[in-house]
Amino acid sequence: MKECIKVGLLGAGTVGSGVLTVLEENTAEIEKKVGVPIHVSKILVRDMKKAKELSEKYQLTDKIEDIVEDPEIDIVVELIGREHPAKEYIAAALEHKKNVVTANKDVLAKYGKELFPLAEENKVDFMFEASVGGGIPIIRPLKSCLAANKVTSVMGIVNGTTNYMLTKMSQENMDYADVLREAQEKGYAESDPTADVGGLDAARKLVILASIAFNTRIDLSDVLVEGIDGLDLCDIEHGKELGYAIKLLAIAKNNAEHGISVCVRPTMLPVSHPLAGVNDVFNAIFVTGDAIGDAMFMGRGAGKMPTASAVCGDIIDVARNIIHKSNGRINCTCFDEKHLCSLENMMSPCYIRLHVQDKPGVLAAIAAAFGAQNVSLKNVVQKSKVKGVAELVVITYDVSELNLQMAVQTLKALPIVEKVCSVIRVEDHDLE
C-alpha cells in the first residue's frame, strides 16, 4: 500500500489556493476517508518571484516537465483555466500516466474528444466535477447515481453572473445596462462580460452535461446560443404578469424519435418551477430521467471554496482508485452515435412581443400570419398604446423552431408590424 498520495498542482490562483486551504484544513478527515494522506508535492506557478509566500510551504516550479515527469506524482490537478496551455499540460500529464483532475470547462468542451481517449489508453482517471456548477455534485451523480436512467432532459442555470443580473432585473426593476455595471463593480461580471452574457460560458457547460447525459459527444457547434445581452426589462415584467420568470437556461433534450437538441437562451419558466426560484449567483441543474423522474441539484456555481470542494472531492475519488488499483474505473461514456434534432422538430411554446399599428383588422392579420406557419396562439394581450402604435404580447402553443423563425420573418414583412421586439421561448413542464 502506498504511504501517501502525491498531487502536482498546476496554478495557484483563486481556485488553486482554495484547494490548498481545503486540503490543509481537512487533512485528518481526508486521510481517514482515503486511508493514506494526500500531499501537494509540487505547484506550477507562472512567476516564481510572485509566489514567494507559497514557497515557504510548497515546492514550486515554473516548468511543467518538473511535474508531469516526476515519477512520484500520482495526480495532476489543472487549475490554470482557459484553453492554452492548459490543454497541452493535461495531455502531457495523461501521456505520462498521471491521473488528472480539472475544473476547465473551456478545454473539456473543445478538446474532450481528444483527451478522454488519451485517459482511457493510459488507464488513468480524468475527473472534472468542478467544470460544471462549481461545487454542485452533478457529474458524478449523472455518471453513477443516475447511470441506470435514460436521461430525457437536462436544464440548467449554469452561469452565476447572468443569474445574478436577471435576479436584480426582476427583483429591483433595474435595466440591463445598470445591472451589468453593478455586477462588474461587485466583481460578479468581468470587464469583458461577453462569454457570460452572450451565453458561451453556459454553452460550454452544456456540452459537458449533454455529452454525459446522452452518452454521446456533443460539440460546441451543436448548441444554439443566445445570451441575455439586449434583454428588455419590460419582458421580465410582462413575464411576471403571466406567471413566468426569465432565466438563462442551458437546455439539452433527447427525444426518442427526433434526437438531441441543445440550446442556451433566455427562457420563460412558470414561477412554480423549481429552477424559477434559484436566484442570485446560485446555479442549479434540473435533470429528468425515465426512472428517476425530475431531480434538481442546486448550489454555488463558482467561487474559490465551492469550486475547491468539487476539485478536492475528485482528488479523494482518484486517491481511492489509486489505493484500490482501479483507476480508469469509470470511463468516458460517449459510446452512442449522435443524432441531432432538426429545427422542424424542436418544439416549445413561445412568447413574442411586437409593436403594431393600432388600427382595425390588425389582430386578424397577425393571427393569420401565425396561422400560415401553423402556429396556434394561446394568448394575445395588448399591453399599451402610444401614438397609434400598440404593444402586443403573444403566447403560442408548441411551435417548432423552424415554423417560429418563418412566422417571425412573415410578421416582420407585414406593413402593419412596426417591430418584432422580443422572441423568448417558454418551458412549460409539469413536475414528473
Q: Tell whether residue 190 is among the known ligand binding residues.
A: yes
> Cβ of residue 376: shortest distance to a second copy, in angstroms?
30
Burial class (CB in 10 A: 0-12, 13-18, 19+), 198: middle
Helix axes 200-213, 105-121, angle to 10 degrees: 30
Q: Which is nearer to a second copy, 136 or 393 (CB)?
A: 136
* Residue pointed to by grid coordinates 455534485: 137
Question: Which residues form the catalytic set?
Answer: 205
- Interface contacts to a second copy, rule CB under 8 A: 18, 22-23, 25-26, 29-30, 32-33, 129, 135-137, 140-141, 144-150, 215, 274, 277-278, 280, 282, 289-300, 303, 305-306, 308-310, 312-313, 315-317, 320-321, 324-326, 328-330, 333, 335, 431
Cα–Cα dist 343/224, whole Å: 10
Q: Tell whether residue 12 is among the known ligand binding residues.
A: yes
Report yes or no: 258 and 342 within 8 Å, Cβ to Cβ: yes
Task: With residue 317 as reference, give the H or E element that holds it.
Answer: helix 304-323
Q: Indicate the DSSP class of residue 198.
A: T
> Cβ of residue 160: shortest distance to a second copy, in angstroms?
12
> Cβ of residue 221: shortest distance to a second copy, in angstroms?
25
- Per-residue burial over 342-372, b if 16 or more Cβ lie within 10 Å, else e, is eeeebbbbbbbbbbbeeeeebeebbeebbee
Q: Tell whether residue 105 is among the known ligand binding residues.
A: yes
Q: Tell whether residue 248 is among the known ligand binding residues.
A: no
> Cβ of residue 172: shortest distance to a second copy, in angstroms?
15
HSE-up of residue 110 (Cα within 13 Å, Cβ side): 12
Cα–Cα dist 176/232, whole Å: 7
> Cβ of residue 75: shortest distance to a second copy, in angstroms?
13
Q: Tell whether residue 15 is among the known ligand binding residues.
A: yes
Q: Tell whether residue 13 is among the known ligand binding residues.
A: yes
Q: Which is nearer to a second copy, 159 or 216 (CB)?
A: 216
Q: Which is nearer to a second copy, 40 or 346 (CB)?
A: 40
Cα–Cα dist 38/60, whole Å: 17
Q: Which is nearer to a second copy, 28 or 413 (CB)?
A: 28
Binding annotation for L-homoserine: 190
Binding annotation for NADP(+): 10-17
Binding annotation: 10-17, 105, 190
Binding annotation for NADPH: 105
